[in-house]
Amino acid sequence: MSLLPVAQALTQLLSNVSATETEIVDIKEAGGRTLSKPVYAKRQQSPFDASAMDGYALRALEDGSYPNIVKMIGESAAGKRFNGSLGYGECIRIFTGAPVPPEATAIMMQENTKKIADHEIELISPVIEGRHIRKAGLDFNIDELLLETGRTLDPVALALAASSGNSSFSVYRPARVAILATGNELVTPDQTPGPDQIISSNSYGIGEIVRQHGAQAIDLGIIPDNLEALTHAISTAIEDDIDVLVISGGASVGDHDLVHKALTQCGIQMDFWKIAMRPGKPLMSGRLTTQAKKTVQVIGLPGNPVSSLVCSYLFLSPLLAVLNNRKPHYDIRNALLTADMPANDHRQDYVRALYEIDEDDRLTVTPLPVQDSSMLSFLAKANALIIREPEAAAASSGDRVKIMMLR
Ligand code: AMP
Ligand code: MG
């Protein structure tokens, strides 16, 4: 049976997937969410002409010049403006963020002045007209478009929105992603494994990928290699108003690999199974429309921890992006190989590797020596994956290769 190319599998997975519905969230809960409507300024920033410095706000003499010694007649502080009016050749003490009196023509910073008496200031450097006055509306004006639809509410976006008087947003509902692990040999990290058991790790890595996309991870624990238990867990998960079901393990063709059978029995329409990639060949995907007319995407990942995570980066991450109405994005770059690599077979290879910037500022990449798909320690050391196309010819040190950045 021929294996499905990676790009084709991804296209199939993402076809018919649409963004989740939208909802309104308060700014305190909005971090990391994706805007489904643009954000416009509700007010002007700065709302008044403001001082950019601690110093003195000056008004020139009638002829436009400035005296060397000026009379100080008051003070304007942030939050409390000077209420008088500034005469020719006078000044007030002013602080950063304080309103500048309309008559002021420049700000002289404190460091360029000398206080010679209680109400007399000597200017020790030339005055520059308009200097250090931030005009009203310098940052933005009312009704100005500040953030476009699709923008993630990252730290700067949140701060900008807050400063413009926006305290709630229309965003996409976080996708609900249920995660199941299956295998008789698996226990959770807080349990002591029996003699033939190992600790289940996949759900934690997958859960974190889900959260990094602003989606909600629902860990449904470990299910044994038992068809009845699996079908029960799958149908229960699907009825719990989820958007995505991710199952790791049991994906291959061994006697105890029951996921494909269980999914089919649960009525899931399988789109593909077995991809021309390494790691991750047994990856499968399908979908089901529930009685409530909601489409649930299902991804069955291979159990090997590296396969499981690499497949999540390649398939689950784009799916989560689309559910947020974002374009899937991988950081793919060209890098210079520092070692020879053998010719590739018919599967697209994702080789755990270390990229570096060398002394000549070039991006170089070195494949890690061991590529066993059970070895999380090497995936954790890697900061990139070298992408080797199916049937790629042998590559030599110095050749350009494509890499996908992981960190
Ligand atoms: P399977 O896909 O069930 O054939 O599993 C392939 C390999 O991955 C086996 O060595 C399993 O023990 C291992 N494995 C399966 N599920 C997990 C998991 N959740 N965490 C860590 N290793 C797993
Ligand atoms: Mg298994």
pLDDT of 292: 87
The residue among 344, 225, 356, 244 whose CA lies nearest residue 290 is 244
305 within ligand 1 shell (Cβ under 6 A) = yes
What's the 254 CA to ligand 2 centre distance in angstroms?
A: 8
Residues of the chain with pLDDT under 50: none
Residue 229, classed as helix, strand or coil, is helix
pLDDT given for residue 16 in this prediction: 86
pTM of the predicted protein model:
0.89
The dihedral over CA atoms of 238, 240, 245, 251, expressed in degrees to the nearest 10, equals -50
- Measured from the CB, is residue 307 less than 6 Å from ligand 1? no
Q: Would you list the domain boundaries of the chain?
A: 6-21+174-323, 22-45+151-172, 50-134, 332-405
Q: Is 364 in the pocket of ligand 1 (CB under 6 A)?
A: no
Could you check whether 6-21+174-323 and 22-45+151-172 share the same CATH topology? Answer: no
pLDDT at 75 (0 to 100): 98
pLDDT at residue number 53 = 97
Q: Whose CA is nearest to atom 10 of ligand 1?
A: 304
Say yes or no: CB of residue 302 within 6 Å of ligand 1: yes
Q: Which CATH superfamily is domain 22-45+151-172 in?
A: Molybdopterin biosynthesis moea protein, domain 2 (3.90.105.10)
- As a whole number of angstroms, the distance between CA 140 and CA 161 comes to 11
User: Looking at residue 4, what DSSP letter applies?
Assistant: B
Assess whether the C-beta atom of 284 lies below 6 angstroms from ligand 1.
no
Q: What are 55-108's pLDDT values in tens digits?
A: 999 999 999 999 999 999 999 999 999 999 999 999 999 999 999 999 999 999
CATH code, residues 50-134: 2.170.190.11
Could you say which ligand is closest to the alpha carbon of residue 252?
A: 1
Three-state DSSP string of 173-222: CCCEEEEEEECCCEECCCCCCCCCCEECCHHHHHHHHHHHCCCEEEEEEE
- Atom nearest to 250 CA in ligand 1: 3
CATH number of 6-21+174-323: 3.40.980.10
Helix (H, G, I), strand (E, B) or coil at 281: coil
CA dist., res. 79 & res. 48, Å (int): 11
Task: State the fold for domain 332-405.
Answer: Beta-clip (2.40.340)
